[in-house]
Amino acid sequence: MSQSNRQTWLIFGILVVGLLLRFGALSLHSLWLDEAYSVAQARLPEAEIWRRVSELHPPLYYVLLHHWLGVAGAGETAVRLPSALISAVNLLLTFFLARRLVGREAALVAVTLLALAPLDVWYAREARMGVFIAFFGLLAALGLAWESGWGMLPSAAALTAGLYLDYPLLPLWVGITAVWLVFWWVRGRRPALLLAWLLPTALAWLLFQPWAFHLYSLLERLNDVFVFAQLLAQLGLPALTARQYLLALLLIGGGLAAAAAAAYRLLQAARLRRPLVWLLLLGFGLAVLLMPVPRVYSIKRLLVTGWPFVTVLVGWAVCQSGARWRQVWAGLLGVSLLASLAVLATPKDDWRAAAGYVAARAQPGDGVWVDPEWNHFPFSYYLPERPPLRPVRGQQPAADVPAWFVAERPPGQQPPTSPTEAWFDAHMVLVETAAFYRLEVRYYRPGGDGG
């Protein structure tokens, strides 16, 4: 067998492994909070989804999931399958984009690294929007890469749909634009090419205006987020308006464009290219190794939208790393596979087991409580016939009614971790507990100070 045929079969095998990582045992872990919220929203009538969905997320994902539930049902595998399918399509789009920008060999490296990427594997198995945003970002970028008027059509459609799907498309498109502007500049600054970016962007923003007030509301709420409030205080700035946040995003985009231009210039210097390439490869490998750490999920949700583009850059860097670039490629694939397997082994809040534990032991007259109150979404998904009570202002449990309480806390943190749990501990007798990763089911009987 020739070396070319061996490489073809090897790449095919890697892609098969990547698909198995995405589609295999989709119900391995129970749905967690965000996924259960997706299902709860998707179960509403379509008109109600458009009317009731909060400004935290636009409605399109929930509308699409609503129609999918009508076909496939609301089981764990069914609700996660669309994400796995879109993630598989993203592999194909990434290959096309990389081949267009950096050549066939680098494209093969990029698509295999994405196939085994732990970040992409994690979110391909989750009933949320991350890989869908990556899909629309790739489609819009491909429209630009075609360098023709016809490319404006997929770009405009992808940007419009992406904005109605979730707001992270906005910073993703700003980042794509920053890099593309450097590409446009070095390719001769053709006005027609600039128009191919400007028209889809303007059209998508115009079509998004009926929903834009929700985005503005969300941006103004950033002033109440601790990180942003601290940053504004450090800079001596007042609370920002929504338009000022958008302006800040554009300024960040300008900074990214300047950084991309500087990186391009540095990479043109032969003596600097090799060290910079290796610095990029080492940084990528370290980032991949850190992905299984169960922290900073908010940042990971943003990273997954742009990870296909990262693999395109890394694919190019691998091919520039020297005569032993295939060994470098193999090393990164090995690191990625190990990290992806670690991701699959990472525990999640086991709402399936926690709800099943309560269902098997609770008596008809027992109360069931969850805290924080939004945890009623995953609990009710698994035990819809027994919706839990939720703490609200001024409401206290009845001290003469046996109660099951589902607490949420990191492993090792000591109870109580909420006012409701503290009330139970003070007024009732704790009879039994059962832990399910970050969840703990606690059963109380009347007694104690309040009994």
Q: Are 84 and 198 members of one domain?
A: yes
User: Structural domain of residue 417, as residue ranges?
Assistant: 351-450
Number of alpha carbons in the 13 Å side-chain half-sphere of residue 311: 38
| Average pLDDT value for residue range 11-15 | 94
Residue where a domain stops, chosen among 299, 318, 345: 345
Q: Are 357 and 327 members of one domain?
A: no
Per residue in 88-122, is it b (16+ CB within 10 Å) or e — as a string?
bebbebbbebbbbbbeebbbbbbbbbbbbbbbbbb
Residue where a domain stops, chosen among 323, 345, 367: 345
CA angle 374, 379, 381 (to 5 degrees): 105
Q: Are 338 and 430 members of one domain?
A: no
Q: Write down the pTM of the prediction.
A: 0.94
Number of alpha carbons in the 13 Å side-chain half-sphere of residue 379: 27
How many separate domains does the chain show? Answer: 2
Q: Are 330 and 355 members of one domain?
A: no
Tokens representing residue 347 in the block: 């525990």
Q: Are 103 and 167 members of one domain?
A: yes
The residue type at 310: V
pLDDT digits (tens, 9 = 90+) for 373-417: 899 999 999 999 988 887 655 567 777 899 999 999 877 788 898
Confidence of residue 340 (pLDDT cuts 50, 70, 90): very high
Confidence of residue 443 (pLDDT cuts 50, 70, 90): very high
Stretch among 7-11, 37-41, 258-262, 393-397 having the lowest mean pLDDT: 393-397
Contact at 8 Å (CB) between 137 and 156? no
Tokens representing residue 298 in the block: 């908010």
Q: Are 340 and 357 members of one domain?
A: no
The residues near 19 (Cβ < 8 Å, ≥ 6 apart) are 88, 115
pLDDT of residue 248: 94
Q: Are 408 and 314 members of one domain?
A: no
Q: Are 363 and 339 members of one domain?
A: no
pLDDT digits (tens, 9 = 90+) for 224-255: 887 788 888 888 889 999 999 999 999 999 99
Q: Are 289 and 357 members of one domain?
A: no
Q: Are 152 and 202 members of one domain?
A: yes
pLDDT greater than 80 at residue 345: yes
How far is it between the farthest Cα atoms of the chain?
81
Residue where a domain stops, chosen among 316, 345, 374: 345
Q: What is the signed CA dihedral for 338, 343, 347, 349, rounded to 10 degrees?
A: 180
Q: Are 224 and 101 members of one domain?
A: yes
Please state whether 307 falls in left (phi above 0), alpha (psi between -120 and 50) or beta: alpha
Stretch among 57-66, 200-209, 439-448 having the lowest mean pLDDT: 439-448
pLDDT greater than 70 at residue 55: no
Contact at 8 Å (CB) between 379 and 352? no
Contact at 8 Å (CB) between 52 and 44? yes
The residues near 312 (Cβ < 8 Å, ≥ 6 apart) are 94, 97, 98, 101, 102, 106, 107, 110
pLDDT greater than 60 at residue 450: no
Using CA of residue 49, residue 53, residue 59, residue 61, what is the dihedral sign? negative
Q: Are 223 and 368 members of one domain?
A: no
